[in-house]
């Protein structure tokens, strides 16, 4: 194991009707004026936003609203949010939604105190030292942003999608009511499952030896999603499945599973280039990229892929032919993604090879950085992975 | 799953030489005068206390020392600590040691602000609302007290050992250097393993259905200890084993594994009566009590015991005879405890039946409370469990 520090300051409030406590939780922390940040009309139509407004009013919290967050959230709306917080003297941000809304809220929070354009915090030109606090009512279990220090923002003008990891952006509390996820369509549930699994696999494929505790935690998370996602898709109001998925999605990305081990994150970087250009769902992009990434890198550590096959998919390892076991494991992952209705090839998402070289160059910033910690990838490697995924 | 709240505010600082950062960590939080609290001479002889003193001095932190904490820490020393903090204007407590030292520090911290005798907080007569902050340098992975809200204190005059769970007592940070555990004797390492496993099993045996995520997390922890404890005993300086055990021990008792599920805690209560009278190591007492408790309650949920056998010990379940599978699982647990050198019978610890009825009555407070959440036990049940353990 490697040295590490670990602290998740986000209070998790999990259970039925927990969203009705939001006003009281904010008032207890002494905040007075909130930016209520959310996406489209579904949260309004479902009655959730109305319930949140009422809870805030009941607690004597004033608020202004900024809706319109889209999947792959835009820096343009973030800039609007920063201005709004400034003019309205906002002292905290309440994100009601999934990862896109939370990430947008995190960017607004950091941008509020940053003396410059907020995109600097995502391009890598600057690091935020202070943020408005962000709290969350989660409606989509996927990104894990509700207790993670990460956010991802898209700059459409530059066709760039960039992530920022900064411990100050972990939310102060996150309300998780699994019943709020009953209305998620099957496809979005499946995309969430792929995203959760990807967060675990980015940590699972490590070069750090002797990490059996976190290996097993990762396997526990992966098996939970593999068991529960098909149930949630078949029975959208299955509380058991929705609950286990929702709690697993948070733990999967709060970095407990990554403590003391090197991590990869190559597939995420490769996927970000896809969704920056083609605007496909992040989870669908990951379901396409991850099997291809695995087929490109598996020879680096056959034993790890064999363990993945055995401990996650129950594939009995063939000690005479570890390569066959590894390939079976990758096939099993791809088959699982297919079984829950996700694309696993670029062609299925309507993406051809025309922009592969451009994406690969952007991903490695023209070979000025390696992509991935498990196997460091150069532009030619990334392009080969896109081609394997065609 | 049940509703829950979850927050671990303890910053974990894990790795080689991490104890040298203690002064800086305290100074960064603005504390000025520390009570340095520890046990006997081993921490001094090993050089650890000297290193801690130096780190505090280097950071400009003044401190007074209170050593002499014994296993099953006494309320008498706690009272002494409270007076000392009062006279010396202490603003935080640094516990250097294992669960006993940390628990003693937690009791001092709460007692400092409590207007009455600190034992009230353990007898159940009062609940603390404020505490001096406690930080930890851990030397024994077992109790999990370094990030838990729990502490256990012994009142020798009353021959009572009582626990207190209060969220305000979670330490502010915990330094975990697995190398500090190299000098733990085999027996103490084994006792720690039993304690860690007990913390997980108290959560695993639940009446809450549909908790597959936390079930798997529990199984991950149990398998880790079953794999790593024998290695640490055979090779005390095996960094891999010591690291995985140390991190697992903290996570096992920070209550992540218990989120959203009812828990038992009967075996802990039954063991506390043993160690209050006989002063045996808590882990050894648990290795005696847990198999007996299981043999008394297993019929309550054969499926859960069969799952325990399959997922923790790899016992193939016999669907025609689930009872046989359950009994095999209990035998496997007892055999594991024996294999690492622990007693699994009262007779092996030199304890006879003479005080069984007294212990059973104290445990249930003369049948005024049920013991255990999985199967609520009365005095006659507890006495029967002690007899099964003879």
Closest partner residue to A217 (CB to CB) among B209, B220, B239 is B220
> Do B69 and B96 contact (CB within 8 A), yes or no?
no
Q: Chains A and B: how many Cβ contacts under 8 Å?
A: 127
pLDDT digits (tens, 9 = 90+) for B32-65: 999 999 998 888 989 999 999 999 999 999 999 9
Judge: B14–A3 Cβ closer than 8 Å, yes or no.
yes
pLDDT of B291 above 90: yes
pLDDT digits (tens, 9 = 90+) for A252-263: 999 999 999 999
Domains belonging to chain A, first-starting first, are: 11-180 (3.40.50.1970), 186-388 (1.20.1090.10)
Judge: A210–B15 Cβ closer than 8 Å, yes or no.
no
Q: DSSP character for A315?
A: P
Cα B383–Cα B359–Cα B97 angle in degrees, nearest 5: 120
The mean pLDDT value for A36-46 works out to 91
Partners of A259 on chain B (C-beta within 8 Å) are: 12, 14, 247
pLDDT value of position A159: 86
pLDDT value of position A58: 98
pLDDT value of position B40: 84
How would residue B66 be classed by pLDDT, with cut points 50, 70 and 90? very high
pLDDT value of position A373: 97
pLDDT digits (tens, 9 = 90+) for A101-154: 999 999 999 999 999 999 999 999 999 999 999 999 999 999 999 999 999 999
Judge: A3–B18 Cβ closer than 8 Å, yes or no.
yes
How far apart CA A241 and CA B212 sit, in angstroms, is 9
pLDDT value of position B285: 97
Contacting B residues, span 62-101, partner chain A, CB-CB under 8 Å: none
> Which helix (H) or strand (E) segment is A37 a member of?
strand A33-38
How far apart CA A302 and CA A322 sit, in angstroms, is 6
pLDDT digits (tens, 9 = 90+) for B119-175: 999 999 999 999 999 999 999 999 999 999 999 999 989 988 899 999 999 999 999
A219 CB-near residues (< 8 Å, 6+ apart): A204, A311, A312, B216, B220
pLDDT digits (tens, 9 = 90+) for B316-371: 988 889 899 999 999 999 999 999 999 999 999 999 999 999 999 999 999 999 99
Q: Which residues pair with A63 in a beta bridge?
A: A34
Judge: B216–A224 Cβ closer than 8 Å, yes or no.
yes
User: Hey, how many other C-beta atoms are within 10 angstroms of the C-beta on A124?
Assistant: 12
Per-chain mean pLDDT for chain A: 97
Mutate to test the interface with A, among B200, B212, B257 (most CBs of A within 10 A): B212
pLDDT of A161 above 90: no
What is the model's pTM?
Answer: 0.97
Taken as a whole, chain B contains a residue count of: 390
> Residue A54 to residues A40, A59, B347: CA-CA distances in angstroms?
19, 9, 63
């Amino acid at each position: 194991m490697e040295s590490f520090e670990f602290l998740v300051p986000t209070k998790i409030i999990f259970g039925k009707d927990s969203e009705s406590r939001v006003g009281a939780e904010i008032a207890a922390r002494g905040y007075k004026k909130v930016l209520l940040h959310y996406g489209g009309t579904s949260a309004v139509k479902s009655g959730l936003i109305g319930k949140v407004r009422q809870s805030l009013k009941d607690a004597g919290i004033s608020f202004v609203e900024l809706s319109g967050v889209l999947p792959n959230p835009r820096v343009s709306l973030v800039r609007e949010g920063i201005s709004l917080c400034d003019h309205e003297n906002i002292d905290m941000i309440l994100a009601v939604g999934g990862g896109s809304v939370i990430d947008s809220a995190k960017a607004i929070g950091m941008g509020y105190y940053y003396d410059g354009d907020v995109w600097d915090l995502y391009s890598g030109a600057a690091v935020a030292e202070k943020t408005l606090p962000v709290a969350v009512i989660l409606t989509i279990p996927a990104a894990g942003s509700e207790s993670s220090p990460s956010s991802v923002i898209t700059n459409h003008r530059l066709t760039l999608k960039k992530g920022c990891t900064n411990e100050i952006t972990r939310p102060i509390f996150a309300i998780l009511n699994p019943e709020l996820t009953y209305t998620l369509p099957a496809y979005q549930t499946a995309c969430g499952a792929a995203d959760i699994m990807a967060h675990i696999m980015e940590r699972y494929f490590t070069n750090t030896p002797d990490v059996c505790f976190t290996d097993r935690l990762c396997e526990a998370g992966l098996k939970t999603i593999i068991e529960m996602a098909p149930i949630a898709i078949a029975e959208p109001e299955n509380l058991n499945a929705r609950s286990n998925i929702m709690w697993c999605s948070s733990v999967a990305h709060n970095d407990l599973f990554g403590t003391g081990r090197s991590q990869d994150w190559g597939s995420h970087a490769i996927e970000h280039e896809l969704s920056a250009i083609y605007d496909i769902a992040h989870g669908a992009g990951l379901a396409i990229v991850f099997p291809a990434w695995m087929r490109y890198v598996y020879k680096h550590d056959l034993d790890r892929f064999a363990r993945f096959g055995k401990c996650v998919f129950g594939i009995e390892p063939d000690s005479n032919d570890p390569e066959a076991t590894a390939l079976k494991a990758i096939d099993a992952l791809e088959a699982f993604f297919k079984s829950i209705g996700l694309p696993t090839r670029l062609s299925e998402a309507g993406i051809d090879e025309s922009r592969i070289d451009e994406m690969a160059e952007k991903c490695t910033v023209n070979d000025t950085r390696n992509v991935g910690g498990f196997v460091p990838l150069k532009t030619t490697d990334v392009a080969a992975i896109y081609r394997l995924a065609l």
